[in-house]
Copies of this chain bind each other. A is one copy, B any other.
Amino acid sequence: MAGITIVEIAKRCGVGVSTVSRAINDHSDINPETKKRILEVIKETGYVPNNSARNLKRTDAKCIAVLVKGITNPFFTPMIQIAEQEAENRKYALVLRHVEAYEDELDVALELEKEKRLRGIIFMGGSSRHSSSKIKQLNVPVVFATIGSEVSEKLSKKEYSTVSVDDMLESRKMTEYLIGLGHKKIAILSEGSDKPSIVKLRLEGYIEALKANGIEINKNLIRLVDKRIYSMENGYQTTKALIESGEEFSALYCISDVLAVGALRAFADAGIRVPEDVSVAGFDGQDISRFCVPRLTTVRQPLEDISKATMKLLFDIIDGESGHRHIIFPGELIEGESTRKRS
């Protein structure tokens, strides 16, 4: 039976619907025995309350949402796990929603806020700049995690929060690390889209570092992957093209570890040794960077810290104990086996 409702349960128990409701929702003012009886019938019947109806009525749902752009991205997994844990600790429900590439994360948020009566929203991934009007429409606090503080130029920074690393700075540090190893011809694998994004900042950091060290920018060494920055295939193909172009370089910096893994493979195929012939660096500090051969030199983002801080900040804002803030965590440059001094 599809149509079994609370009314049916009430009938079978010979009680009113409100009593059943009380039983379901763990209200205090109900006779323990009646409650027990009702719960039994519910179990027998296999009755499941309709969430749509509940959400429609409920006013005090302790619920927050995490919107993740790019399901392809294993990067957020650890962050999500922590978020779920923290939410549980606070007795909050957490709805997790993947935002498709073609969807606007803010539109999704708007819908979800109405549907689930959210108290707060966390964004992971996605564009780093949004229309200020939409973000204002959200009536609940918003925190962007791992998305830098350039969310919207037009919007006061007091209207949303961010928790992230300073992508440009960290990227600059990595580039300077390579320069410090004696590399001057440093190629980079970055993103090709024209949208403002976090990875664009990494490219900028690279450019800044070169300029600051008096190294001329060679456009032939800046390689943009087609679309997905978290695709080994893209890293592989782009690196292969770079190699075949004949352009000289002694180091390759990939703005994600996943791209770097593809690059490693491309070098192996070409008989180019890493790090003897060329140094390779990644970014993110994902699991794979510790397990690939050779281990990747990379910038580790402290995802646990970021995620915990995000949750704490969100709850603080919800509880009125804080205004919006912009927290920046330092990245950690991890020296793997994929880079070495230029010989």
B291 with A48: CB separation less than 8 A? no
State which residues 128-159 of A face B: CB under 8 Å. 133-134, 137, 139
A265/B236 contact (C-beta < 8 A), A52-B115, A288-B288 known: no
CA distance A114 to B50 in the complex (A): 5
- For the complex, what is the distance from the CA of A28 to the CA of B292, rounded to whole Å? 57
**A293 in contact with B292 (CB, 8 Å):** yes
Cα A2 to Cα B292 in complex, Å, equals: 49
> Nearest B residue to A80 by beta-carbon distance?
B71
Chain B residues closer than 8 Å to A113, beta-carbon distance: 48
Does A332 sit at the interface, judged by CB under 8 A?
Answer: no
B contact residues around A212 at 8 Å (CB): none
Determine chain A's interface SS by DSSP, over half rule.
helix
CB atoms of A48 and B110 under 8 A apart: yes
The verdict on A74 contacting chain B, using a C-beta distance below 8 Å, is: yes
A49 interface hit (Cβ, 8 Å): yes
Cβ of A276 to closest chain B Cβ, rounded Å: 14
Bound Cα distance from A50 to B293, whole angstroms: 51
Size of A's binding interface in residues, CB under 8 A = 46
Q: Does A24 make an interface contact (CB < 8 A)?
A: no
Knowing A98-B96, A236-B291, A268-B293, the reply to whether A50 touches B46 (Cβ < 8 A) is: no
Evaluate whether A49 and B233 lie within 8 angstroms (CB atoms) in the complex, with A265-B292, A268-B293, A293-B293 already known: no
In A105-123, the 8 Å CB interface with B consists of 110-111, 113-116
Does the CB pair A53–B50 fall under 8 Å?
Answer: no
Please tell me if the beta carbons of A51 and B287 are within 8 angstroms of each other in the complex: no
Q: Does A218 sit at the interface, judged by CB under 8 A?
A: no
Q: How far is the CB of A218 from chain B (nearest CB, A)?
A: 27
Question: Which residues of chain A from 277 to 327 have any CB-CB distance to chain B below 8 Å in the complex?
Answer: 287-288, 290-293
Chain B positions within 8 Å of A100 at CB level: 84
Taken residue by residue from 1 to 13, chain A's Cβ proximity to chain B (1 for < 8 Å, 0 otherwise) reads as 1100000000000
Min CB gap A109→B, angstroms: 10
* Copies per complex of this chain: 2
For residue A220, CB closer than 8 A to chain B, the reply is no
- Chain B residues positioned under 8 Å from A292 (CB to CB): 261, 265, 292-293
Question: What's the Cα separation between A84 and B99 when bound, in Å?
Answer: 12
Cβ contacts under 8 Å, A71 to chain B: 77, 80-81, 96
A268 proximity list for chain B (CB < 8 A): 293
Tell me whether A114 and B48 are in contact in the complex, defined as CB-CB below 8 angstroms, given that A80-B71, A288-B232, A291-B236 are known contacts.
yes
Residue A72 lies at the interface, judged by CB distance under 8 Å to chain B: yes
Structural contact, B77 and A111, CB atoms closer than 8 A: no
Question: Taking the nearest CB of chain B, how far is it from the CB of A270, in angstroms?
Answer: 12
The answer to the question of A55 belonging to the interface, with a C-beta cut-off of 8 Å to chain B, is: yes
Which residues of chain B have C-beta atoms less than 8 A from A74's C-beta? 74
A56 contacts B by Cβ under 8 Å? yes
Q: Is A126 an interface residue (CB 8 A)?
A: no
Inter-chain contact A291/B261, CB cutoff 8 Å: yes
Q: From A274, which residue of chain B is reached at the shortest CB distance?
A: B293
Tell me if A262 counts as interface (CB < 8 A to partner B): yes
Q: List 17 A-B contacts (CB under 8 A).
A: A46-B133, A51-B52, A52-B114, A71-B80, A71-B81, A232-B287, A232-B288, A232-B290, A232-B291, A261-B288, A262-B291, A265-B291, A265-B292, A265-B293, A268-B293, A288-B288, A293-B293
